[in-house]
Amino acid sequence: MTIDLPIPITRYFAFDAARDLDALATCFTDDATVKDEGQVYEGCEAIIAWKRGAGSKYKYTVEPFAVATEGNRTIVTGHLVGNFPGSPVDLRYGFRFDGDRIADLEIGA
């Protein structure tokens, strides 16, 4: 299923799928924040370290299938499948932008 996503989100999911961390870093502002699994990652270096750890620990794919707007956030729901406990699962990705880059991302069920 194909859905229309804002360009920063399309780039985020494409670079994540390709495991291209250098390109993924360009999706975020320098002081961006990511919240995932009860942890908070602040700044681009911490975010890339988080992705590096998740990418080496688990192999996964994400297929976005729904998008909505809630206040100043764009919420994407994606089907996540991989070799992690509880797979598969549908997760919500809450994005907030600063211009054309991601300033804040919160991932949860």
Q: What is the DSSP letter of 100?
A: T
Polymer length in residues for the chain: 109
Can you give the pLDDT at residue 56?
67
What residues are paired with 42 via a beta bridge?
33
Q: From 3.40.50.1820, 1.10.3720.10, 3.10.450.50, 3.10.20.600, which CATH number describes the 7-108 domain? A: 3.10.450.50
Indicate if the alpha-carbon torsion angle 17, 28, 105, 77 is positive or negative: negative
Helix (H, G, I), strand (E, B) or coil at 20: coil
Can you give the pLDDT at residue 2?
73
Can you give the pLDDT at residue 22?
93
> Helix (H) and strand (E) counts for the chain?
3, 6
Residue-wise pLDDT tens digits, 31-60? 999 999 899 999 999 999 998 886 667 789
Alpha-carbon gap, residue 82 to 80, rounded angstroms:
7
